[in-house]
């Protein structure tokens, strides 16, 4: 099950196409989604989470709390809608596309991909692009 929750001052997403796509992404990685909860929030909310749980005093677009076991994916994923909007402007893409990139980025972390080194970042970006293409195919 994939659920979305929205903090104050955030806009709701068109959830069902995203849910269908993210389930398909998991299947392409030979994983199954048990329960993924997305919490869409603002910068300050996510900054507080970052400080409290990760001891980081920086803004970020996503924080993933992975509760997966083996091939069964489970997580709470927090996304700053403000960061997504700003990044869309920076990267010259639509807010919807950037949101999809961040949503799938969290799922890819659950699938075992990391982005700490340059090589890992390159692979993560390639995987994001591969999975983003699936969204356009199934819509």
Find out whether 105 is annotated in a ligand binding site. Answer: yes
Please state, in angstroms and rounded to a whole number, the distance separating the CA atoms of residues 44 and 9: 12
Could you read off the pLDDT of 12-65 as tens digits, one per residue? 999 999 999 999 999 999 999 999 999 999 999 999 999 999 888 888 899 999
Please state, in angstroms and rounded to a whole number, the distance separating the CA atoms of residues 99 and 97: 5
Measured in whole angstroms, the distance separating CA 97 from the mean position of its chain's CA atoms is 12
Per-residue model confidence (pLDDT) at position 9: 86
Please answer whether residues 24 and 133 qualify as being in contact, where contact means their C-beta atoms are separated by less than 8 angstroms: no
Question: Scanning the structure block, which residue is given the tokens 């980081």?
Answer: 56
pTM, to two decimals: 0.92
Which CATH class for the 2-138 domain?
alpha beta
Report residue 139's pLDDT band, with 50, 70 and 90 as the boundaries. Answer: very low
Question: For residue 76, what are the CA distances in angstroms to 15, 57, 63?
Answer: 16, 20, 8
Per-domain boundaries in the chain: 2-138
């Amino acid at each position: 099950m994939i659920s979305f929750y929205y903090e104050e001052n955030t806009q709701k997403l068109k959830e069902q196409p995203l849910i269908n796509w993210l389930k398909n992404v998991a299947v392409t990685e030979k994983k199954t989604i048990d329960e993924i909860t997305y919490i869409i929030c603002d910068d300050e909310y996510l900054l507080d989470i970052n400080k409290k749980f990760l001891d980081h005093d920086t803004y970020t677009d996503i924080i993933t709390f992975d509760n997966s076991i083996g091939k069964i994916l489970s997580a709470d994923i927090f996304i700053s809608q403000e960061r997504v909007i700003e990044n869309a402007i920076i990267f010259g893409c639509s807010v919807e596309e950037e949101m999809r990139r961040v949503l799938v980025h969290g799922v890819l972390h659950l699938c075992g991909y990391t982005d700490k080194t340059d090589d890992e970042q390159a692979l993560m970006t390639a995987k994001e692009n591969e999975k983003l293409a699936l969204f356009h195919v199934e819509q």
